[in-house]
Amino acid sequence: MILAHRGQWREYPENSLAAINEAIEDGAEVVEIDVQLTADGVPVLMHDTTVNRTTNGKGKVSDLTLAQIKNLRLKEGLGGNTAALTKHKIPTLEEVMLAVKDRAIVNLDKGWEIRDKMYAVLVKTDTVDHGLFKGSPNVEEPAEFMAK
């Protein structure tokens, strides 16, 4: 299978809806994304624990509300100090799952600790069969999670 890491970040900001859609258009069957929780408990796409590298904002994702996150703009590609700002915004996991539905599998990285929140989004969007949960649990944790 063809897998795109953080979407097509060479053409669009990493973990953006545009990067995910472009990766699928380019032939990716699996798109790896990174998920963090906002202060108000909403799963959003962000690799780092802070928004500093990839946006025009500063601070921890976990200290910012969804409204604050949605006011930020993503930087080009992998971000950094010299990357230009784009019109793209940080997507929620729900927005992403609706966009990939019936098009690709999503490798849910950086989210094992928030698996219940992510699973709830997959149930809500009818995309449970589109999600691969990634983490470093012991054998018992995934078995317990799957049994629920």
Which member of 4, 5, 7, 31 is catalytic?
5
5 is catalytic: yes
How much helix, strand and coil, in percent to the nearest 5, is found in the chain?
35, 20, 45
Q: Of 6, 47, 88, 130, which is the active-site residue?
A: 47
Tokens of 68: 């604050």
Q: Phi, psi (5° rounding) for residue 100?
A: -95, -10
- DSSP β-ladder status, 30-37 and 3-5: parallel
88 noted as active-site residue: no
Provide the token pair at 13: 């900001």
Active site residues: 5, 47
